[in-house]
Amino acid sequence: MSDIAVVLPDGSELSVPGGATVEDAAYEIGPGLGDDTIAGVVDGELVDKAAPLHDGARLEIVTDQSEEYLDVLRHSAAHVFAQALQRLHPETNLAIGPPTDEGFYYDVTGVDLDESDFGELEAEMRDIIEADYPIERRELSREEALAAFDDNPYKTEILHEEAAGEDPVSVYEQDDWRDLCKGPHVDSTGKIGAVKLMNISSAYWRGDEENDQLTRVYGTAFESESDLAEFLEMREEAKDRDHRRIAREMDLFSIPTVTGPGLPLYHPPGKTILSELESYVNDLNRDAGYGEVETPHVFRTELWEQSGHYDNYQDDMFLFDVNDEEYGLKPMNCPGHATIFDQGSWSYRDLPVRYAEHGKVYRKEQRGELSGLSRTWAFTIDDGHLFVEPDQIEAEVRTIMEMIEEVLETFDLDVSVDLATRPEKSVGSDEVWEKAESQLEAVLESSALDWGLEPGDGAFYGPKIDFSFEDALGRSWDGPTVQLDFTMPESFDLTYTGEDNEEHRPVMIHRALYGSYERFFMVLIEHFAGKFPLWLAPEQVRILPISDDNLGYAYRTKNELDGFRVEVEDRDMTIGRKIRAAHDDRVPYMVIVGGDEEKSETISVRDRFENEVGDVDPSEFRAHIEAERDEKRTRPDFIDAE
């Protein structure tokens, strides 16, 4: 057996001469590590410690000190929930119960549940945890497994489909209860320190509306009660930052039933923010040499057949017939950009060719998965596609990386970066993939970014660099991406004339600086809790006259701030109420004018953090907010600057 690369919990890496399983490899390094091993990550996949290893595998050892440990613990908590549920309601049928970013869920049928049942279920779960039952992996032959779960149609379907050909299959047991599962799990139920059931929703088996409707119960679990309490406190803050609530308060967008699910309407304040975001990307694109293009929302389906999307995305596309021809709303912009490139005749001297579009796309997500702007049927991508020679890849990717870094720094978002390499199912030669991956790795190495590896997580058409970022609550979101594509140029027979006067195939680079505007807008709303930086704020300054006698001076002051989004508060309210209203509306700056200010031709400035300074020259304030806007600072700082 060839050596296996092993990453230890402290991040160090060494090589060991094989090992039949994850646990075996850990024991080869040392008995202590073997005893502490809970699971492993083999070539990017979290697996049980009993999982076999193949030649040349890359193994990350998972202990209770690893980031992945919480996922393992929560998977076990899902089993504890299912056991508790079947103790109280033996008629329950179990579907699946995976861990999630915030906890776990389990899909069930055969029982009527609502949140009033949570107290009894949590008490039963705590009894199971306190009993500290060993969680033991067993292997059953396919025949034994089918017999054991013959009364459960969901487990039987899994055995016939996902686990088809597997023999034996694994189950996990705790006390007198067991579940069909690949794992991994903690050693015993007592390792789960604290649990909490969160809410109930509905779901369809396998996400298909044609299948059974299931009850989905969400919960969470932690090693300690203090960790759970911290999570629940953070969750309450997340409710305060919920983009749907803030959108209603600030009149940013709505999704009424008449539009259909996942089809947002942007109101003037929301459109103002989106326009500023678009303008920012336009500036970056112009500086980087992109030509702006526009493609229609609808194409004949022959385009999607040519690109391969029809076969892979047909179920997620909106398709319809016109005069006996089939059309589809576009799920992606890239085939349109490839078609534009195909209309030209290109020399190597013309490359790179760079196209950019704020392109609206449509994907028929399941209704149960739609939520505000986080997942919609219609969304806009700040798409960029480049057509390059192979030896131009590194320079172009480096420029894109610099653009992405600038964007994320502008919004004060913490970033993590990963190189996703060739998946098992892919197209292209080993030579092309190795060169492409080495070029992306060289770009990452030359950057100031810390980055990780996602083995086998690339697109089938090429490797990619994925960015994710954390918001103010520490939640991680998928964001910008850079992808190499060797397939679409082949599908569209794209060529350019090389220096040798022969035809050559370009490489296509896909890139997005935000991802989708909808998802990014959602993140910004919650990240800033609606308190947008001055350059994004729908209303940047509100002028508050102390009395109607000062309205004339208020409007003259507004004229001096021409070019900014300024409103005069002329409602019949006390100055205290005016200040509270502007504060509630999250306006970055309030300018207060009264008799003293009018007499001295000055203003008093108050920011939304309740800091205030008087006797300010209006021209001085204007100069400051111009700089604050143009430099895209993340918070009002006029008074801090004083």
DSSP assignment of 87-103, as one string? HH-TTPEE----B-SSS
- The pLDDT of residue 642: 44
Per-residue pLDDT, averaged over 227-249, amounts to: 90
Residue 368's pLDDT band (cuts 50, 70, 90)? low
Residue 29's pLDDT band (cuts 50, 70, 90)? confident
Per-residue pLDDT, averaged over 440-457, amounts to: 87
- Does domain 253-295+333-527 match CATH 3.30.930.10? yes
Comparing 450 with 121, the larger pLDDT belongs to 121
| CB 422 within 8 Å of CB 465 | no
Per-residue pLDDT, averaged over 152-164, amounts to: 89
Domain limits, CATH 3.30.980.10, in the chain: 69-239
How is residue 307 written in tokens? 């690109």
How is residue 612 written in tokens? 């205030």
Per-residue pLDDT, averaged over 568-574, amounts to: 94
State pLDDT tens for residues 45-61.
Answer: 899 999 888 877 888 89
Cα separation, 640 vs 386, in Å, equals 43
Where are the alpha helices (H) located in 314-392, listed in sequence order? 334-342
Residues of the chain above pLDDT 70, percent? 98
- The pLDDT of residue 470: 81
Cα separation, 372 vs 375, in Å, equals 7
State pLDDT tens for residues 163-195.
Answer: 777 889 999 999 999 999 999 999 999 999 999
CATH for the stretch 69-239: 3.30.980.10
Per-residue pLDDT, averaged over 114-136, amounts to: 96
CA 43 to chain centre: 22
How is residue 411 written in tokens? 């919004």
- Does domain 4-62 match CATH 3.10.20.30? yes
| Short-list 227, 270, 476, 484, CA closest to 372 | 270
Per-residue pLDDT, averaged over 594-605, amounts to: 95
Per-residue pLDDT, averaged over 566-594, amounts to: 95
Comparing 484 with 471, the larger pLDDT belongs to 484
Residue 3's pLDDT band (cuts 50, 70, 90)? confident
- The pLDDT of residue 367: 67
Lowest-pLDDT choice from 21-35, 351-365, 512-526: 21-35
- The pLDDT of residue 369: 67
Does residue 352 have a cis bond before it (omega within 30 degrees)? yes
Dihedral sign from CA coordinates of 160, 163, 169, 175: negative
Comparing 245 with 374, the larger pLDDT belongs to 245
Comparing 146 with 12, the larger pLDDT belongs to 146
Per-residue pLDDT, averaged over 127-147, amounts to: 94
Domain limits, CATH 3.40.50.800, in the chain: 541-641
How is residue 173 written in tokens? 């047991």
Instruction: Name the strand (E) or helix (H) holding 152.
Output: none
pLDDT of 479 above 90? no
Instruction: Name the strand (E) or helix (H) holding 216.
Output: strand 213-222
pTM equals 0.75
Residues of the chain above pLDDT 90, percent? 69
Domain limits, CATH 3.10.20.30, in the chain: 4-62
Average pLDDT, the chain: 91
Domain limits, CATH 3.30.930.10, in the chain: 253-295+333-527
- Residue whose structure tokens are 């590194």: 394
CATH for the stretch 541-641: 3.40.50.800
